[in-house]
């Protein structure tokens, strides 16, 4: 056997061995790491999500008959969660498609923040863990494109995926809570009472479609509609945790939306800071925060502002 033949035989044997190792130890190649999605789980099966961040600790989202609830670790209270935010978060992590493989070296995990410095997300069906992922730091690609470095909890592959995932998962308790206070049909509002300090209170009344009056004054429909929409579909900006609802003393502002079915929705406001109010609303179990800026062109206006 010539030297050239021996060399070819060795090359052939090494090639066969590499193919054997590749098949036997499936998943060690880049193509395997970049195929499919980072996590594999059946989204409809998920009824519990645990999100742990260095900033906010452990937050648990639980699916119940009444909908999703949220609870912070160490807090005995649980609150209604924003179902759309939970659904969006689950949709995102169920469709994490790897763009590139960064490393398999555990020593590099801290560089990409896919260790304890990242955001850990685990999904469950009851007590059975379905999947888990660590969301690391993001990478700015362009004004329209962000990447996030991620690692499945049970794997070493660190990959990049599309999106700025911290916006969906790096939330505090308020960020996961349902902020809808009222969700009435704006067309059902037929009267608004605006209560201010002193003798500046007044009432706006609907007399026909797109026609409102206050006493004998005809009102601007566009400005009235801002007040109507604010009260009909009221949303909290944040929540109050250091004051019990029963300790709230109605004082400065009082607004009432009367509906065409005879029901009414009442809102009370007390100043908290120069830019915020502590608010209490009828039919809502929690004290919440409303920003003054969101009310300045809708409710915090005198009668003259609404007149044509």
Domains and CATH numbers, the chain: 30-176 (no CATH), 186-306 (2.60.40)
Residue written as tokens 């006493």?
215
> In Å, what is the CA distance from 157 to each residue of 30, 37, 50, 105, 138?
9, 12, 22, 8, 16
Is residue 174 within 8 Å of residue 156, measured between CB atoms? Answer: no
Report the predicted TM-score, pTM, of the whole model to 2 decimal places: 0.84
pLDDT of the residue at 144: 74
User: Helix H segments across the chain?
Assistant: 3-24, 30-33, 83-94, 109-112, 166-169, 173-176, 221-232, 292-295, 303-306
Residue written as tokens 């912070």?
72
> In Å, what is the CA distance from 13 to each residue of 3, 4, 7, 61?
15, 14, 10, 55
DSSP 241: -
Residue 85: pLDDT over 70: yes
Quick one: pLDDT band at residue 20, thresholds 50, 70, 90? Answer: very low
- Mean pLDDT, range 16-26, rounded to an integer: 41
Rounded CA-CA distance 269/192 in Å is 15
Largest CA distance in the chain: 114
Query: What tokens were used for 53?
Result: 């961040």
Quick one: pLDDT band at residue 175, thresholds 50, 70, 90? Answer: very high
> In Å, what is the CA distance from 127 to each residue of 1, 48, 107, 296?
65, 9, 31, 48
CB neighbours (10 Å) of residue 131? 20
Lowest model confidence (mean pLDDT) among 173-177, 182-186, 198-202: 198-202
């Amino acid at each position: 056997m010539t030297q050239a033949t021996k060399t070819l035989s060795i090359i052939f044997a090494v090639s066969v061995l590499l193919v054997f190792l590749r098949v036997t130890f499936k998943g060690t190649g880049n193509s395997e790491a970049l195929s499919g999605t980072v996590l594999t789980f059946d989204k409809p099966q998920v009824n519990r999500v645990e999100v742990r961040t260095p900033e906010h600790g452990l937050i648990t989202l639980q699916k119940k008959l009444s909908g999703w609830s949220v609870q912070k670790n160490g807090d005995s209270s649980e609150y209604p969660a924003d179902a759309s935010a939970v659904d969006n978060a689950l949709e995102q992590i169920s469709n994490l498609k790897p763009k590139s493989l960064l490393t398999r070296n555990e020593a590099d995990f801290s560089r990409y923040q896919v260790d304890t410095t990242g955001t850990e997300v685990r999904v469950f069906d009851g007590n059975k863990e379905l999947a888990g992922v660590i969301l690391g730091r993001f990478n700015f690609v362009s004004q329209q494109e962000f990447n996030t470095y991620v690692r499945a909890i049970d794997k070493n592959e660190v990959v990049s995926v599309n999106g700025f995932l911290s916006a969906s998962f790096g939330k505090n308790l308020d960020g996961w809570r349902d902020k809808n206070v009222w969700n009435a049909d704006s067309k059902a509002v037929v009267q608004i009472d605006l209560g201010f300090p002193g003798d500046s209170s007044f009432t706006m009344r609907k007399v026909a479609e797109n026609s409102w009056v206050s006493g004998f004054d005809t009102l601007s429909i566009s400005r009235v509609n801002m007040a109507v929409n604010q009260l009909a579909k009221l949303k909290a900006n944040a929540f109050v945790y250091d004051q019990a609802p029963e300790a709230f003393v109605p004082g400065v502002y009082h607004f009432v939306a009367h509906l065409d079915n005879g029901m009414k929705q009442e809102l009370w406001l007390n100043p908290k800071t120069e830019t915020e109010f502590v608010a209490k609303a009828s039919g809502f179990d929690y004290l919440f925060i409303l920003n003054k800026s969101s009310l300045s062109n809708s409710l915090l206006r005198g009668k003259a502002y609404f007149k044509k």
